[in-house]
Amino acid sequence: MMIGALLLGVALGCGGSQVVKVAPAPSITMLDPGAEPRQQLRYVLTARAPERMEMTSKLRMKSAITNTVLETQHRNVDFPSETEVGRIEVTSLTPGGDAVVSFEVEDVSVLDDVVDPAVRSAALAAAGSTKGLRASWRMTPSGLISNVVVEARNASSSLRELLPSITESLHAAAVVFPDEAIGIGARWQVISQQVSGTVTWNRTVTYQLKALTDSMATIDAQMVMHAPSQALSVEPNSTTRLTSGTSNATAEVVIPLRGLVPTLTNQGTTELNFSIASSHLRIISTVQMETLSSVKPVAGTATP
């Protein structure tokens, strides 16, 4: 499972003890079963075998705003790189093989690669509130995730508002295997709908099996998300609307079939276009984001 994006979502925001409501189960379509020999791929996990992982993430953001009188403002923000270390393990297994997984952020560090002190200060504050954050969820042998619970009692109010990003990251992170037997070169798609905050996204992830051993699967993943025009906030004197949203990401993942922590690199871009209308003012805004992240296991076994 690509748990790195989950950790990114955890780092971005949540607070208190909350249950994340997820969309209905995604649809899985086989595009090409691949070459012979073929086999059904499943996660075969062991309870009480803690692992540790490290993820590094980087975010750049550009925004542009144009108002009624055609005044335009631009802003570019380069956020500092962050490194998170987490502990993850299967706490129990059901008779059907579903795993109940627990996760905890052990440490968060912010690198000194941004010159704007205000941006770095905000990143440090956000990172500090995620240390000690805990999460749990249920994962089927095929990789479907449900019953996400997050505890972050020390998180700031601004981070609490970003709780839906955990759901988004978790679903984008989970490599879901098809029911059919597959071989090298196999391609399949997972199509789903997801709500992140107040935005509803249609998401398609295409996977291709590049290599396979008894214990590891190497997979290329391409994710495409589209958000149609939708109202985000409607008040008597003001309306905020997302006019369009697109997001694309690619990842190369080496997945341990008997473990939780992959080795991966992920690169993505997102563009959101908004319109804000009030009785005397209309604003058009565009936000563009570039993300780069990597995940790797940390040598040694986590301390129980």
- 278 part of a folded domain: yes
Q: Which of 195, 160, 198 is nearest to 13 (CA)?
A: 160
| Percent share of the chain, pLDDT over 70 | 83
- 143 part of a folded domain: yes
Structure confidence at residue 110 as a pLDDT band (50, 70, 90): very high
Query: Tell me: the pLDDT tens digits for 32-43?
Result: 999 999 999 999
From 4-13, 64-73, 158-167, 209-218, the region with the lowest mean pLDDT: 4-13
Residue 78 has pLDDT above 70, yes or no: yes
Give the residue, 16 or 141, on which the prediction is more confident.
Answer: 141
β-strand 238-256 against 230-235: which pairing, if any? antiparallel
Structure confidence at residue 50 as a pLDDT band (50, 70, 90): very high
**Spatial contact of 11 and 169, defined as CB atoms under 8 Å apart:** no
Q: How much is the average pLDDT of 10-14?
A: 32
Query: Tell me: the pLDDT tens digits for 174-195?
Result: 799 999 999 999 999 999 888 7
- 48 part of a folded domain: no
- 303 part of a folded domain: no
Residue 159 has pLDDT above 70, yes or no: no
Residue 264 has pLDDT above 70, yes or no: yes
Residue 215 burial (CB < 10 Å; 0-12/13-18/19+)? exposed
pLDDT of residue 115: 73
pLDDT of residue 100: 95
Domain residues for the domain of 140 are 4-39+54-297
Residue 3 has pLDDT above 50, yes or no: no
Q: How much is the average pLDDT of 15-31?
A: 64
Token pair in block for residue 221: 């993943």
Q: What mean pLDDT value characterizes the chain?
A: 85
Q: Which one of 140-149, 187-196, 216-225 scores highest in mean pLDDT?
A: 216-225
Query: Tell me: the pLDDT tens digits for 193-218?
Result: 887 777 888 999 999 999 999 999 99
Give strand pairing partners of 224. 204, 248
Q: How much is the average pLDDT of 117-132?
A: 83
- 242 part of a folded domain: yes
Residue 24 has pLDDT above 70, yes or no: no
Question: Residues 2-29, buried b or exposed e (16+ Cβ, 10 A)?
Answer: bbbbbbbbbbbbbbeeeebebeeebebe
Give the residue, 218 or 120, on which the prediction is more confident.
Answer: 218
- 104 part of a folded domain: yes
At 117 the three-state DSSP class reads helix
- 114 part of a folded domain: yes
- 45 part of a folded domain: no
Residue 1 has pLDDT above 50, yes or no: no
User: For the chain, what is the domain count?
Assistant: 1
Q: How far apart are CA 15 and CA 134, in angstroms?
A: 10
